[in-house]
Each structure stands twice: as C-alpha cells, then as structure tokens.
C-alpha cells in the first residue's frame, strides 16, 4: 500500500511585530511593524499560489494582521482559535521593559516552568499546559473536515507542536528546553505537517517542511 496523505497543514509564523524588535517583553496586542506588514504581504502572495480549504489563525494582533493579509489575497475567511496563540506569559510581564526588575525575575521563574513539569509562575502557562495545548491543537486539525489548511501562529508554540510530533511521549522537559534553545523560526516562515498513513503504520503526523522562508528573498 502506498502512503496516503489524509491532511496537510501549512503553518505560518506571523510577520515581525513592534515588540519583536523593542526592548520589552512582547504583549498579545503588539501589532506588526512596517517590516512585518511587508512580510505579511509577501507570505500572502506565496500562500495565494497554494491550494487549501481553510484559514485558521491565532487571535493575537500580530497573527491576526498576518492572517488578514492572507485572507485578502486568497478570498478565504479567517477562523480564529485560541489553541494557536503564543505561549502565555504571566500577565504582569506583558509589555514591560527588560529593565523592569520584577518582570525580569518573574520571566526567569516562568522560563524555568516551561521546562519543569508541575512548576508554575503566577498565571503563565507551564510545560504541562503547553504540551496539552499542542496535543489539543493537533487533534483539532486532525478532526477538521478540510484536507488542506493554513494556520497562522507563533514561533515558540509552533516549535512546541513540531517537538511533540517528533518526540511524542518521549518529550521530556529537558528535551523540550534543548529543542527550543537550538531551533529558530523566521517571521512568516512556512512549516508543513502531513497527517498520513503507510503500509508500516497507522495515520500519524509527519514533519515535511521546516521554516521555509524563500519568499523573503523575492
């Protein structure tokens, strides 16, 4: 039996935001800057050449604006889902400058919680939350009736999804930390997952393309 692809998902990281290049801890409502808007137009042009059935996006402003550019270029309606937002920081940190001593201390504690099961820093997401959300996101996509989808999301959370696909239940806190530390993802880079079956295995997710940003060289 030949491999059978049941679903393909094109993940797009949002364009560059104002807080991406500012000396602050990025907030959910940080909009695209001028570079990010240009990147959004570029990725929209590229995505318009793909054949896909649904457009899904994180409702965070930078992802929303990127998705709106794609929607305009493809005549697709955006479906927003909280499943694809960026890792959720403790509320106090959002928008605070790096020079804020309390924010810095809390950031370090929160960062540790992202790799330490059962540890939590105020109201921020932790390792267990992120892995559980990645699983929910993959199940959500698997259950969509559309076969081909574009999802606009965020770098850290997208790397979380990739890590979960690659390592499954072997994804420990230390392995997760190492993956996040040693991988990067460009603004508007494309990462592609396929959900497919083969003679040797039941349907499962496969990483097909990672961080393709050739369109940024146009």
Domain assignment of residue 156, given as a range:
4-89+126-217
Residue 181 domain-assigned? yes
DSSP secondary structure letter of residue 25:
-
Region for residue 211 given its phi and psi (left: phi exceeds 0; alpha: psi -120 to 50; beta: otherwise): left
Q: Are 63 and 14 in contact (CB under 8 A)?
A: yes
115 occurs within a structural domain? no
**What pLDDT digit, counting tens, does each position of 70-96 carry?**
999 999 999 999 999 999 999 999 999
Counting the structural domains of the chain, the total is: 1
Assigned domain for 80 exists: yes
Structural domain includes residue 22: yes
What is the number of alpha carbons within 13 Å of residue 24 lying toward its C-beta? Answer: 15
Q: Which of 24, 1, 43, 10 is nearest to 203 (CA)?
A: 1
CATH assignment at residue 201: 3.40.50.1240
pTM for the model: 0.95
Which run of H or E residues covers position 134?
helix 127-143
The answer to whether the beta carbons of residues 106 and 90 sit under 8 Å apart is yes
**Would 50 be classed as within a structural domain?**
yes
pLDDT digits (tens, 9 = 90+) for 173-215: 999 999 999 999 999 999 999 999 876 778 899 999 999 998 8
Residue 100 domain-assigned (yes or no): no
**C-alpha–C-alpha distance, residues 181 and 115, integer Å:** 11
């Amino acid at each position: 039996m030949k491999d059978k692809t049941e679903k393909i998902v094109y993940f797009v990281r949002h364009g560059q935001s104002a807080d991406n290049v500012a000396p602050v801890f990025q907030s959910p409502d940080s909009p695209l800057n001028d570079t990010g808007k240009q990147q959004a137009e570029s990725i929209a042009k590229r995505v318009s050449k793909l054949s896909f059935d649904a457009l899904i996006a994180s409702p965070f402003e930078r992802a929303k604006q990127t998705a709106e550019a794609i929607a305009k270029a493809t005549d697709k309606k955006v479906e927003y889902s909280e499943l694809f937002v960026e890792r959720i920081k403790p509320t106090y940190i959002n928008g605070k400058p790096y020079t804020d001593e309390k924010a810095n201390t809390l950031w370090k504690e929160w960062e540790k919680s992202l790799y330490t099961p059962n540890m939590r820093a105020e109201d921020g997401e932790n390792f267990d939350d992120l892995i559980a959300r990645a699983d929910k996101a993959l199940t959500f996509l698997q259950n969509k009736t559309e076969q081909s989808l574009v999802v606009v999301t965020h770098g850290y959370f997208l790397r979380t999804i990739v890590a979960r696909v690659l390592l499954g239940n072997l994804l420990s806190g230390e392995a997760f930390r190492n993956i996040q530390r040693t991988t990067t993802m460009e603004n508007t880079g494309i990462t592609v997952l396929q959900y497919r079956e083969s003679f040797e295995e039941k349907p499962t997710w496969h990483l097909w393309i990672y961080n393709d940003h050739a369109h940024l060289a146009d």
